[in-house]
Amino acid sequence: MIDTALKYVDGHRSELGAMQNRFQHAISNLDNVHENLAASNSRIKDADYAKETTQMIKQQILQQVSTSVLAQAKRQPKFVLFLLRN
């Protein structure tokens, strides 16, 4: 009778231990997620939107200019050949 009760208690103790371990991992994971979200939120709030928008527009203009320069560079040899032939 006592052996059966001890086995019963040991079985439930191991189940509870495993459950506690899973909860601790879940809590640790949620703490990590919370910390990362707080850091991201802080970076977003601290962003200088005027500066970031200006930087984005600058990069877009540079990309358009480089595309235009490449297009002109492709046309240049054809123009030189045209002049040499005529």
Separation in Å, CA 35 to CA 6, 21, 28, 32, 45: 43, 21, 11, 5, 15
**What's residue 60's pLDDT?**
97
Residues in the chain: 86
- The token pair at 62 is 């540079």
CA 38 to chain centre: 15
Tokens of 24: 């601790």
Put simply, whether the predicted model's pTM sits higher than 0.75 gets the answer no
The rounded distance, in Å, linking the Cα atoms of 38 and 16 is 32
Report the greatest alpha carbon distance in the chain: 113
Lowest mean pLDDT among 2-6, 12-16, 35-39: 2-6
Sequence ranges of the domains in the chain: 1-46, 48-86
Is 11 or 63 the better-scoring residue by pLDDT? 63
Per-residue pLDDT tens digits for 15-72: 999 999 999 999 999 999 999 999 999 888 887 888 889 999 999 999 999 898 888 8
The confidence score (pLDDT) of residue 62 equals: 94
